[in-house]
Amino acid sequence: MPYCKNCNKNYTEPSVQHNVSKSHLSKLNQICRFPCTPIESSMQGNINTFWLRNYRSKSIDIFFTKIEPWFYDICREQLRNCSFKSNSILKCAYIKPFDRRLKEEKSFKTRNIIITVASDLSSIWNDVKENLVREMTEFQSRGSGWSLQTILGLEVRVNRYNPLRVSSYIPLSANIVKTKSVVNVKNFDFFCFKYAVLCQSKE
């Protein structure tokens, strides 16, 4: 029998129905007392997930307006450490109008975006909103018969981004070695650049 760690109990209905049930949403809102809540951290804090919950907003535009400051706060806090990659997942509950017992949770995702101290957070937020609204509109225009019941919230995933990494000795290709124009010290630690500079300074 499936177990819900948020509700702290087992449930018998399908997971998609449980996740949009009144009892589950009520419990989740009790746990997430603030609009923004860290819900997961792994890889020694290199990967973090935040939950921006919806509180009684029936319109997607109103919901986005309410959580916008919290999105900026997440970004600024993460930028205090380093640049990062981020993507957002909008979670909504849908029902079938002709049979309101049929419920399903739908997720709409954005692509990963690299955010640095030079990034325009306002522009990034506008892109996130536009992409999510477009996905929602496309889903509802497919004629699936699903109707939006509730906006559950926005999940913001953050991964530390460090494109510059040190490395150790890497053999050069034969045609470069023949030129004898590159200092390539054979070492077994991560100080190859330091050794190359020292070798050059001794000549």
**How far apart (Å, rounded) are the C-alpha atoms in residues 18 and 11?**
7
Q: Is the pLDDT higher at 8 or at 178? A: 178
Q: Which residue has the tokens 């600024």?
A: 76
Weakest mean pLDDT among 96-100, 105-109, 121-125: 96-100
In angstroms, the Cα distances linking 128 to 6, 19, 36, 167, 197 are: 28, 24, 17, 35, 45
**How far apart (Å, rounded) are the C-alpha atoms in residues 30 and 79?**
29
Q: Is the pLDDT higher at 198 or at 123? A: 123
> Residues 190-199: pLDDT tens digits?
777 777 778 7
> Where residue 31 falls among pLDDT bands split at 50, 70, 90?
low
| Mean pLDDT value of segment 32-50 | 69
Are 94 and 148 spatial neighbours (Cβ–Cβ below 8 Å)? yes
**How far apart (Å, rounded) are the C-alpha atoms in residues 60 and 139?**
15
State yes or no: pLDDT of 42 exceeds 80. no
Check: pTM over 0.75? Answer yes or no: no
Q: Is the pLDDT higher at 15 or at 157? A: 157
> Where residue 151 falls among pLDDT bands split at 50, 70, 90?
very high
State yes or no: pLDDT of 29 exceeds 60. no
The string of DSSP letters for the chain reads --EETTTTEE--S-HHHHHTSHHHHHHHHHH--SSEEEEEEETTTTEEEEEEE--S--SHHHHHHHHHHHHHHHHHHHHTT--EEEEEEEEEEEEETTEEEEEEEEEEE---EEE-TTS-HHHHHHHHHHHHHHHHHHHHTTT---EEEEEEEEEEEEEE----------PPPHHHHHHT-------SSS-HHHHHHHHHHH-
Residue 27: phi, psi to the nearest 5?
Answer: -65, -40
> Where residue 35 falls among pLDDT bands split at 50, 70, 90?
low
> Where residue 88 falls among pLDDT bands split at 50, 70, 90?
very high
| The pLDDT of residue 2 | 77
Weakest mean pLDDT among 54-58, 86-90, 110-114, 166-170: 166-170
Token pair, residue 116, equals 């640095």
Q: Is the pLDDT higher at 8 or at 137? A: 137
Q: Is the pLDDT higher at 196 or at 95? A: 95
State yes or no: pLDDT of 44 exceeds 70. no
| The pLDDT of residue 6 | 65
Average pLDDT, the chain: 81
